[in-house]
Chains A and B, each alone.
Chain A
């Protein structure tokens, strides 16, 4: 089927010349990157290199100082874009979980779909329960965040984002705030998500996850993407001296 081969890959995110300054601190110095549907991009790099800033620019939690970000066929860095509309389709998972402390797990998950008129309350509850089943936490539906372990909180946070049926999921060091024995359960959920075909951009220090799941690994340093490669090449044959130094420290 020649036709199929000619089908263009679906581009989910396109970043062109992205720059971000905090006052005089030039954090992102020109990032160009494209994420295709179904890709799992893992971003690594030293602390302060701008990984979080990059990720947070993608859903406009940080406003870029220069450059363009396209989500599907929308230029979202355009001032006229409806930011809330864009964010619905981009799930985000934070290092500190950020579950809503004043709400039960169920309310955490159903709040956005119901408030945004995407689902009725009943539909949202049903969706929430089936998602909770997927992470084995159905019995926590009526708990408050303060009653959960870190690993449970993070799995709920993932479910909360998934309840919006996002087209891409952004993860900012989702396991860095966890006790070691809880890292596995969260990575497991993320792997399943990856297998289900979700498009993902993951900032992490879990090199094992990068090797196993990533379709591309990006190494960020000094506000740019220093190196990008498929995981096998990236870890076995890094080109850049910076990458080599970094890998020798973390592996």
Chain B
């Protein structure tokens, strides 16, 4: 065997790497952790999008004479509470108080993060809709289209284009935020890294490893979002 290769295999660095990833197939644990992270992120993201969109329309609702409705007040209170409290606390309250009897921690996490994300998404969607020029709606209505048809065919497609970059950003924030599920005993990617580091008495490798995995996933996501954004911008090109 090559002298340098031998030297590498005996090195401290390689031993740490082995302990962190290879011994007793530990790499599989990272993937399991990543699975938990992704599952919570994706479902909470979808739930957040759903809640956020509904809440955005609640916020934008107006009475006949242009005043805010009761629904819009409720929506504002929800947003204020969510944004005004730490998400770790929200998760713990959900896990230990509201859904204390639940046997399904993933569900609890999805609900908690979904409700949390919904508040931020609602602001993004609201801003995306408001950023569409008022003239677009007026033109639609002046042709005799209902407000519903105008919304669906004219306003929303343009609002989505406005909202996509911040929504992508929110999704990325959400994914990293799920790293706090360790607080309620769930084993996501971060928690796995932490567990392995306590077992091997070596923190560097597992933590850096987890960080690299987050980074790669998010980088891929960013590339995908950029692609989608460019496609949606097609109608703006000259």
- Pairwise interchain contact A112-B235, C-beta atoms closer than 8 A: no
- Pairwise interchain contact B133-A85, C-beta atoms closer than 8 A: no
B199 to chain A, nearest CB (A): 54
Chain B positions within 8 Å of A86 at CB level:
144
Contact code string A117-158 (vs B, CB < 8 Å = 1, else 0): 000000000000000000000000000111100000000010
Chain A positions within 8 Å of B136 at CB level:
98, 100-101
Within A63-114, the residues touching B (CB, 8 Å) are: 84-92, 94, 96, 98-103, 111-112
- Pairwise interchain contact B144-A146, C-beta atoms closer than 8 A: no
Chain A positions within 8 Å of B133 at CB level:
96, 98
Residue picked from B138, B139, B235, B238, most chain A C-beta under 10 Å:
B139
- Pairwise interchain contact A94-B235, C-beta atoms closer than 8 A: no
B167 to chain A, nearest CB (A): 17
Residue picked from A91, A102, A111, most chain B C-beta under 10 Å:
A102
Chain B positions within 8 Å of A100 at CB level:
136, 139-140, 153-154
Which secondary structure dominates chain A's binding surface?
A: mixed
- Pairwise interchain contact B142-A146, C-beta atoms closer than 8 A: no
Chain B residues with a Cβ closer than 8 Å to the other chain, count: 23
- B143: Cβ under 8 A from any A Cβ: yes
- B12: Cβ under 8 A from any A Cβ: no
Chain B positions within 8 Å of A111 at CB level:
143, 145, 153
Contact code string B143-180 (vs A, CB < 8 Å = 1, else 0): 11110010001100110010000000000000000000
- Pairwise interchain contact A146-B238, C-beta atoms closer than 8 A: yes
State in angstroms the CA–CA spacing of A232 and B55 once bound together: 58
State in angstroms the CA–CA spacing of A147 and B233 once bound together: 13
- A160: Cβ under 8 A from any B Cβ: yes
Chain A positions within 8 Å of B235 at CB level:
101-103, 144-146
> Closest residue to A116 on the B side, CB-wise?
B144
State in angstroms the CA–CA spacing of A147 and B157 once bound together: 19
- Pairwise interchain contact A98-B139, C-beta atoms closer than 8 A: yes
Chain A positions within 8 Å of B140 at CB level:
100, 112
Q: Identify B138's interface contact among A61, A101, A116, CB under 8 A.
A: A61
State in angstroms the CA–CA spacing of A103 and B156 once bound together: 12
Q: Identify A85's interface contact among B144, B158, B237, CB under 8 A.
A: B144
Chain B positions within 8 Å of A116 at CB level:
144-145
- Pairwise interchain contact B236-A112, C-beta atoms closer than 8 A: no
- Pairwise interchain contact A112-B145, C-beta atoms closer than 8 A: yes
Chain B positions within 8 Å of A157 at CB level:
139
- Pairwise interchain contact A112-B157, C-beta atoms closer than 8 A: no
Q: Identify A84's interface contact among B139, B145, B153, CB under 8 A.
A: B145
> Closest residue to A118 on the B side, CB-wise?
B144
- Pairwise interchain contact B238-A112, C-beta atoms closer than 8 A: no
Chain A positions within 8 Å of B138 at CB level:
61, 94, 98
Chain B positions within 8 Å of A84 at CB level:
141, 144-146
- Pairwise interchain contact A102-B161, C-beta atoms closer than 8 A: yes
B residues apposed to A, CB below 8 Å: 133, 135-136, 138-146, 149, 153-154, 157-158, 161, 234-238
